Structure 1
């Protein structure tokens, strides 16, 4: 197991197990996710990688049939502690899903939505936040002349970057990405990957992907999961070129699915 002792931690996952209606989805996972790095979760369908991602901002709370053991610590605090404000946790740990989900409103209002919920109303401040967020998501130049057009007029790739801009507007510490480019064309996928690389200078990113080439291109660390277990976790270059375990090698070389 790689301990990444030279890296500052963002998340520390300790003995995490999770089951849906008694059926295990995660089995005794322990890992550290380094701060301001890109960590990728890979593995076959149903291995638990998206479940693990959702645990990091407690989206599993939305399912009443979930049982959980173990701890997930963010900046020294157990995120499941009784005094944790879940809404604030989800501001700090933003989530972007596989399918873009812009709200049925203008581009501007999409980005400003969360900021307004925080009580920020002054137009000048909102204008600055919207511009900064769209620039951070590499979308400003494409939409600056049509900010008040419907977000649904954007292409799929633009919509996904808009959702990222909306998430960045509330200043998260972590960005969770659940296969953010799987529904996009190759050019849009390239833009999302460039964006992921550019964002790690200011926040921590955790990426679930079925595309191992994508994991190799954009991540610093990669965790391979299978049947709810963490099989191998290492620096991405090491995991893909010199895996320690035969199970990992078999997966990344396509000998299993």
Structure 2
């Protein structure tokens, strides 16, 4: 799968091979713990705008914890302790003046299991728009159509928009959830194992969708599937035991990683 032709240095800190692209998110010295149990340890990385960045690593390494930290999903857990900063377009997301609801509109989240609401396909996509208010019916219709087209679902559902979302297949439900998130025009889309429960055909549709969406927004993907990370991402960060081990362009990390720890993981010699 990979070719390793250069020696592996053993530097003291994480390896970061990052082109000087404009950053959308900047993470600086992020440490996060559940009570006395550390989940993330002094992470520093920049996520480039209008690119797909994948987080990989063994179970329990902190991938999903990091993803959830990017739109403050840990806020309601009183056991969580945090140090460090996360900036979205230069603004500290934990600053007192930041409204969490607005942050989560700007940084949308799609989870592993599809979670459409118990309502029609149309109403699912329009849900966030109605919460915002001030949108006329014709404008809402246009946005719903745009979101479903952006999620590669419009042609499959345009004749049954009033049907229950629960009647859709699993892959269609996941794309509907993505359309619902896109409808409120986020700047960042967080994807936590979005295709892990789907069949191969649905998975390919989700992957194609991820590749197409980066022209519109920044995407951050958590996946256990390294082939998927290699297919869809521009940059990959390898995490282990809550630490950032190596971060760089996906092509470089998968074909010529700088650290033996990274090589062992992507070649299956480490669980």
Q: What is the TM-score when the length of structure 2 is the normalising length?
A: 0.94
CA distance in structure 2 between the partners assigned to 1:236 and 1:120 by the alignment: 42
**Would the aligned equivalents of 2:151 and 2:178 in 1 still touch at CA under 8 Å?**
yes
Task: Structure 2 unaligned segments of length 5 or more: list them.
Answer: 1-14
Query: Which whole-Å CA distance do the structure 2 matches of 1:187 and 1:19 have between them?
Result: 38
CA distance in 2, matches of 1:151, 1:120: 25
Correspondent of 1:151 among 165, 180, 187: 165
Is 1:248 matched with 2:238?
no
Question: How far off its partner does 1:142 sit?
Answer: 0.1
Aligned pairs, how many? Answer: 257
Task: After TM superposition, list the pairs within 5 Å mapping 1:156-171 onto structure 2.
Answer: 156-171=170-185
Task: Confirm or deny: 8 A CA contact 1:16 1:30 kept in the other structure.
Answer: yes
Alignment correspondent of 2:22: 8
Deviation at 1:62, TM superposition (A): 2.1
Distance 1:147 1:237 in 2: 40
Higher mean C-alpha deviation, range 67-76 or range 115-124: 115-124
- Could you say what the CA RMSD is over the residues aligned between the two structures, in angstroms? 0.8
Hey, what's the Cα distance between the residues in 2 that align with 1:137 and 1:120?
24
Mapped partners of 1:132, 1:65: distance in 2: 40
Report whether the alignment pairs 1:66 with 2:87. no
In structure 2, what is the Cα distance between the partners aligned to 1:227 and 1:155? 36
Asked if 1:130 corresponds to 2:122, the answer is: no
Does the aligned pair in 2 maintain the 1:94–1:176 contact within 8 Å?
yes
Q: Does 1:115 align with 2:115?
A: no
> Tell me, which stretches of 5 or more residues in structure 1 are unaligned?
none
How do 1:198-209 residues align onto structure 2 when only pairs under 5 Å count? 198-209=212-223
Cα distance in 1 for residues equivalent to 2:51 and 2:262: 22
Partner of 1:39: 53
Q: Deviations over 1:115-152 (max 9, x none)?
A: 01000342101100100000000000000000000000
Structure 1 equivalent of residue 65 of structure 2:
51
SS at match of 1:231: strand
CA shift at 1:4, angstroms? 2.9
Match of 2:230 in 1: 216
d(CA) in 1 for partners of 2:40 and 2:252?
Answer: 24
Q: 1:161 deviation in Å? A: 0.1
Structure 1 residue ranges, 4+ long, deviating more than 3 angstroms after superposition: none
Contact (CA 8 Å) 1:3, 1:32: kept in 2 or not?
no
Whole-Å separation in 1 of the counterparts to 2:66 and 2:115? 21
How far apart are the structure 1 equivalents of 2:29 and 2:135? 43
